[in-house]
Amino acid sequence: MKKTAKLILSLVLPLSIILFGTVTYWRYVAVEDGPDEFLYGFPLPAICSGWHTSLSLQIFVSELVFNYLFYFTFLMLVIGLIDRYLKPITVKKYIKIGLYALAMVILLGYGFVFANPDHIFKTERDFNYQQTRSGFKFLWQPDEKMQ
């Protein structure tokens, strides 16, 4: 139990924050009774553009929390299986510090984004859509518009 807690704190938690903040799935969708839109999030769409003003977002909180728990659980399973069956994992202090520093930078970035008063926070997505195109992307990659 102590080994599991140590793995969670030293590796799983910062890696899940880093992956959650940098790797996502995008969907270009035709929204029912709305404009064509990009939805972001894996496995569930959790963020899209706000329709009330430019440069705003709609953030769906329950999907966002579910997505983070998905990343956390997946990494916990993978790291736990590797630690138990392949090779015991020991994390050096400088790697732990580096992972936490990167995770904190990503959390601060999300904090600044979510602090914008123009963003709308909803408990869940309240519109239907038809997906036309999709793919994975990293945070620094531009969106792929319809061709």
Q: Where does the pLDDT of residue 147 fall: very low under 50, low under 70, confident under 90, or very high at 90 and above?
A: very low
Q: Where does the pLDDT of residue 144 fall: very low under 50, low under 70, confident under 90, or very high at 90 and above?
A: low
Question: What pLDDT is attached to residue 39?
Answer: 92
Nearest Cα neighbor of 130 from 35, 25, 24, 23 is 35
Residue type, 22: T
Q: Which run of H or of E encompasses 64?
A: helix 61-81
Query: Is 115 a residue whose pLDDT tops 80?
Result: yes
Measured over the CA atoms of residue 127, residue 24, residue 8 and residue 77, the dihedral's sign is positive
Residue type, 142: P
List of residues 6+ apart from 70 with CB closer than 8 A: 42, 43
Question: 91-127 burial string, b = 16+ CB within 10 Å, else e?
Answer: eeeeeeeebbebbeebeeeeeeeeeeeebeeeeebee
pLDDT digits (tens, 9 = 90+) for 24-78: 999 999 988 888 888 999 999 999 988 888 888 999 999 999 999 999 999 999 9
Question: What pLDDT is attached to residue 146?
Answer: 44
Query: Is 105 a residue whose pLDDT tops 50?
Result: yes
Enter the pTM of the model: 0.86
CA atoms of 132 and 122, how far apart (whole Å): 24
- What is the percentage of the chain residues whose pLDDT exceeds 70? 96
pLDDT digits (tens, 9 = 90+) for 63-84: 999 999 999 999 999 998 998 8
